[in-house]
Amino acid sequence: MEKHVHFIGILWIVFGALSLIGGFITFSILFGISFIPSISYEAHFILRTIGLYTCLVLAIFSIPKLVAGIGLMKKKEWARILTLIISFLCLLNFPLGTALGIYSFVILLKDETIQLFRMTKKEEGI
């Protein structure tokens, strides 16, 4: 079960990084398009605003995924709970978020996994 938890941690880090990169690419494309000289001033403003807010929203949603993945790899109990919350929210993100969310639920809700996190918590002396 430890290998599955480690693998889920890696997948959440990759998924969070891809979301962060996607936000940056969206911002770069929209910001770049806004420099086309033949479009109006309003279009410049709208493209830059949409690009900025899209990037910020994706970054805000990416950071918890990265934190949860790192915490899972360190076998922290709070990371298991955070991952379950994020998994629920990502179920609508079809197909990757749905697959990763279901896989996370299946693995992280097993009794063996819960015992693994409790055992790790006791070893740390908490």
Amino acid letter for position 91? L
- The number of domains in the chain is 1
Reported pTM: 0.88
For 43-98, the pLDDT digits (tens) are 999 999 999 999 999 999 999 999 999 999 999 999 999 999 999 999 998 999 99
Q: Which two tokens stand for residue 101?
A: 């969310």
Range of 33-37, 62-66, 111-115, 118-122 with top mean pLDDT = 62-66
How far apart CA 93 and CA 6 sit, in angstroms, is: 22
Residue 8 domain boundaries: 2-123
Instruction: Please name the residues in contact with 117: beta carbons below 8 A apart, sequence gap of 6 or more.
Output: 75, 76, 77, 80
How far apart CA 96 and CA 80 sit, in angstroms, is: 19
Q: Which residue do the tokens 């911002």 mark?
A: 27
